[in-house]
Structure 1
Amino acid sequence: MRIGLLHSTIREDEKLLIESARKQNTGIDIVDVRRQVFNVETWHKKYDCLLVRCISATVGIHASMFFEHLGLPVVSPLQVMTICENKFLTSLKLRNNGVPTVPFALAFSENEAIEAVNQLGGYPVVLKPVSGSWGRLLAKINDQDALEAVIEQKHVLGSPTHKAIYIQKYINKNGRDIRVTTVGNRVVCAIYRDAHHWITNTARGARASVCEVDKTLEQTSLAASQAVGGGVLGIDMFETDDGYIVNEVNHTPEFKNVQRTTGVNVAKAIIDYCHEVAHHD
């Protein structure tokens, strides 16, 4: 069994994966995608499974595309990465599969964005880029003046991704959310992320603590995983009076804080899953 670990930078997460693979006597090659030529005519390296850990989603998606074209199993698969990379598409998949999720809308102009806010029940709302991570470029919008200002900035910035105005209803989560880590068809563990700021992301300083996984949390997490196609996922949840609702699903989740906080060996679970995927194919 040999895994190709595709990366652009070796972070603590990747070090944990490498250590776990070696402890399990699993061959693992550390493949820096920046130093490869992805040519179907000349590629000769043989792997039983590719584990995509690229920081850039664009790089990861194209690497997954290449290896799936060669007929090799990839974690996570191209379809899963493509869905989760787009927050709007993720929301659509969740809703279409009956998974409770944050109410959302998309608009392409200021007037329609104002109407979208009305349809979502009014202010406050949250504006997000359709693609992004680590809580970057999020804006909590409390009134129409703020909405117009942020939309003007998006249009002036000129990036194609800013043309799509993705809007979510603001959910008062009382200073915390839940990050659930799923691997294959099981919930591995979960943490609370507490912060004084409305953005509760450990990359931005949120404090992590153990979250006990009850039956409803497990069922909601697995339903979200199945809605986007499974694999190795980080699912962000809010607690509401009506139960758990899914905020986002991440296709290449960082897990060092999860593993450190819970004591659960997430890296081993991922390597075990690579074995399952390789043997299944």
Structure 2
Amino acid sequence: MPAPRLSVLASRVRFEEKAIMSALERRGVSYDYLDSRSLSVAGNPEMPDWAEKLVLNREVGHFRALYAASALEAAGATVVNSCRATQVSGDKWHTSAALLGAGLPTPRTVLALTPQSALAALDKLGYPAVIKPLVGSWGRLVTRVTDRETSTAVLEHVEALPSPQSHVIYLQEQVPKADRDIRVLVVGGRALGGTYRRSAEWRTNVARGAVSERLPLCGDHADLAVAAAAAVGADIAGVDLIEDGDGRLIVLEVNDRVEFRGFQEAHGSHADVADAIAAHLIARTE
């Protein structure tokens, strides 16, 4: 019996991966599960193991996801999301550059190549501002700074970090907004729906306790989210939007390998993210 053409790559099988696998099974699709912790790939495009194979990349760790996508593509597989999409959306500066290149509205952003230059850049950017790591999720190590004294203290800690990448500083204005942001899920160039994510804290990450509420999606939300996903090259994406003080929509982030449990709970039967992903994968294999 021939091996399945579709694989799901993950090291942790969470709610999302279980839902996607169940959706594939309901549709009668044969697939195999690849545990990225035990995966090795020979970078040879003539290897028959990966030729004409489609791999859904659900690896939670950014660097392992990135190198898995690169190796699998080098061996002849098609990866969703692609290596390029993972590289761009997994790095905040690359995401900002892609959004700016596509002419999409995004907060004023500065890349400082040293902690010292970051301090001078913050003086020009203005306060309050946000210092973010280039790579990271769930709001970790994201710091709001309100004055030069606080910035100096934060940047001294950043300078002491061992990774050279940590010394490249991503700075962004803090956009005045309501106690919420907007998450729109995009699959295959189509916006499935949106949620408001509300929090008493200034960071509105569900992993930090934010509550998801269903948002009836309007054309502006959908169009901007689809354009943002296309800008980073992502088939599947969670696009974070915020509304500034004037109600203007701004793209904050684009997330590949997006978690959607909160979204699904907020939408119930109004949307089925896992089934939409399954349908997209089937279309890609065909």
2:115/2:167 contact within 8 Å kept: no
Correspondences of 1:13-28 after superposition (within 5 Å): 13-28=16-31
Q: Which amino acid aligns with 2:152?
A: E
**Alignment partner of 2:124 out of 119, 127, 133:** 119
Cα drift, residue 43 of structure 1: 7.2
The alignment status of 1:82 with 2:82, answered yes or no, reads: no
**Alignment partner of 1:192 out of 188, 196, 200:** 196
Q: Could you report, residue by residue, the CA deviation over 1:132-184 in whole angstroms, capped at 9, with x for unpaired residues? A: 00110000001101101111101112222211110000112221001111011
Q: Which amino acid aligns with 2:17?
A: E
CA spacing shift, 1:170–1:138, aligned 2, 3 Å? same
The alignment's C-alpha RMSD in Å is 1.6
**Alignment partner of 1:245 out of 227, 245, 250:** 250
Cα drift, residue 48 of structure 1: 3.6
2:43/2:72 contact within 8 Å kept: no
2:50/2:75 contact within 8 Å kept: no
1:237/1:248 contact within 8 Å kept: yes
2:115/2:158 contact within 8 Å kept: no
Normalised TM-score (structure 2): 0.93
SS of equivalent residue, structure 1 residue 254 = coil
**Alignment partner of 1:214 out of 210, 214, 218:** 218
Cα drift, residue 74 of structure 1: 1.0
Between the two proteins, the alignment pairs up a number of residues equal to 278
1:97 counterpart residue number:
102
More displaced, 91-100 or 36-45? Answer: 36-45
1:265 counterpart residue number:
272
1:3/1:47 contact within 8 Å kept: no
SS of equivalent residue, structure 1 residue 157 = coil
2:240 counterpart residue number:
236
Separation in structure 2 between the aligned mates of residue 37 and residue 110 of structure 1, nearest angstrom? 37
More displaced, 110-119 or 15-24? Answer: 110-119
CA spacing shift, 1:242–1:278, aligned 2, 3 Å? same
The alignment-based identity, stated in percent, is 32
Cα drift, residue 271 of structure 1: 1.0
CA spacing shift, 1:47–1:260, aligned 2, 3 Å? farther
Q: Which structure 1 segments of 5+ residues have no match?
A: none
2:228 counterpart residue number:
224
**Alignment partner of 1:56 out of 41, 46, 61:** 61
Q: Which structure 2 segments of 5+ residues have no match?
A: none
Separation in structure 2 between the aligned mates of residue 221 and residue 103 of structure 1, nearest angstrom? 18
2:161 counterpart residue number:
157
The alignment status of 1:69 with 2:74, answered yes or no, reads: yes
1:4/1:47 contact within 8 Å kept: no
CA spacing shift, 1:173–1:242, aligned 2, 3 Å? closer
Q: Could you report, residue by residue, the CA deviation over 1:16-50 in whole angstroms, capped at 9, with x for unpaired residues? A: 01111100001121110111222246773676410
SS of equivalent residue, structure 1 residue 216 = helix
Normalised TM-score (structure 1): 0.94
Separation in structure 2 between the aligned mates of residue 131 and residue 56 of structure 1, nearest angstrom? 10
Separation in structure 1 between the aligned mates of residue 128 and residue 40 of structure 2, nearest angstrom? 47
Q: Could you report, residue by residue, the CA deviation over 1:218-253 in whole angstroms, capped at 9, with x for unpaired residues? A: 111111111111310011110121511011111110
Q: Which amino acid aligns with 1:269?
A: A
Q: Which amino acid aligns with 2:56?
A: L
SS of equivalent residue, structure 2 residue 160 = helix
**Alignment partner of 2:141 out of 113, 137, 149:** 137
1:30 counterpart residue number:
33
Separation in structure 2 between the aligned mates of residue 63 and residue 109 of structure 1, nearest angstrom? 30
1:131/1:161 contact within 8 Å kept: no
